Chains A and B, each alone.
Chain A
Amino acid sequence: MQRIKTILKVILFVLVGGLLHYVLPQHDIVRVTSTEIIRMDFTSFNRLFYAQADSGNAENTTRDMRLINTERKKTFLLGFIPRDATGVMVYRNEDTGWIWPPYFKFDSSNLQAEAAALISNTADEKWAVITHYGWRNKFLSVYPNAVGIREVSGPDVRIIPWFNIFFFIFLIIAYFFIRAMWRQFRERSVDPLLEDAGEVWDKVDDHADAAKAQARGFIGRIKAWLETWRSKK
């Protein structure tokens, strides 16, 4: 039982952690190399990882999608430890609109123009911080969604994830608040009911004890048995 509980807890932790890692904003230090538009033919496997059509448009099974191609500074440990190595990363750029995840992004075209303005080559490097959420998965053809881009002086800037700091503080506060609510509810509403039920149970128990006390000896037992046939008063 204890082992099953532990396994369930681990599964829950992985699911919630994965969801937060997918949805919360992360910052990458990148050099934009080009922007492009490709047609996307979604499948049921990867449809989940894309938002919907731009917020003013109709939803079709196939549509064009903006991509931002970059060279990115690699990091360790979710971006906390910077590295010298660089790799490539491709970001999609689509509206999240009023729906999930709640970034309320409507400016995909503007963002594409900002990214295009930052295109640079190795002779004259321009570095930028891209805020994004989501995962890159080559098997599913899934890209992280860029949410914002801003130019920075060089590839060694220090980024403080203010939003995530406040988000996790809020999450911890919410956890303790919900726990306090639950405890109050149990103490004031559930436990008194259980006590009442316990009292009823004690009464039943007393009756049973009385019946047992009567049922001593052979005659007593027969009497007790006869008693069970009498109508209850």
Chain B
Amino acid sequence: MGLIRLVIFGFLFLTAIYFMISIFSRSVRREKLEDRWDEKHPGGDDMAARDAYIKEGMVEYESGLRKKLIWLVFIIPPIIVLVILYLTSFYEG
């Protein structure tokens, strides 16, 4: 019973963290793209080209490694739980 509760609430908690980190990571990437464009084109006001550049960068991000790494949010905590469980309940010495 306790295990079911842990799994359900743990999953909800980790899902919330996953979405928060996703939004944060996307936002940081977009800001970086904006800054990079503004650095390359000082005083430029070709907003269409700027939007296209950012859009292209974001498409690249969506299929990149960094975004996939956020899935570790669901992988690392259960591993830590298993390690703690092993160390307290099965490992002697």
CB distance from A147 to the nearest CB of B (A): 6
Tell yes or no: A164 within 8 A of B by CB: no
Q: Is the CB of A104 within 8 A of B88?
A: yes
Q: Is the CB of B27 within 8 A of A184?
A: yes
Chain A residues closer than 8 Å to B85, beta-carbon distance: 104, 106
Tell yes or no: B11 within 8 A of A by CB: no
- A189: nearest residue on chain B (CB-CB)? B27
Q: Is the CB of B90 within 8 A of A102?
A: no
Which one, B1-9, B41-49, B53-61, B63-71, is touching chain A? Answer: B1-9
Tell yes or no: B79 within 8 A of A by CB: no
What CA separation (Å) do A103 and B20 show in the bound complex? 27
CB distance from A203 to the nearest CB of B (A): 24
Q: Is the CB of B90 within 8 A of A99?
A: no
Q: Interface digits, B10-47 against A, CB 8 Å rule (1 contact, 0 not)?
A: 00000000001100100110110000000000000000
Chain A residues closer than 8 Å to B92, beta-carbon distance: 110, 114, 150
Query: For chain B, what secondary structure do more than half of its interface residues adopt (helix, strand, loop), or is it mixed?
Result: helix
Q: Is the CB of B81 within 8 A of A102?
A: yes
Chain A residues closer than 8 Å to B21, beta-carbon distance: 181
Tell yes or no: A148 within 8 A of B by CB: yes
CB distance from B72 to the nearest CB of A (A): 14
Q: Is the CB of B24 within 8 A of A104?
A: no
Q: Is the CB of A98 within 8 A of B84?
A: no
What CA separation (Å) do A30 and B2 show in the bound complex? 32
CB distance from A58 to the nearest CB of B (A): 11
Tell yes or no: A107 within 8 A of B by CB: yes
Tell yes or no: A3 within 8 A of B by CB: no
Q: Interface digits, A78-107 against B, CB 8 Å rule (1 contact, 0 not)?
A: 000000000000000000011100111111
A-to-B contact residues, CB < 8 Å: 52, 55, 97-99, 102-107, 110, 114, 147-148, 150, 180-181, 184-185, 188-189
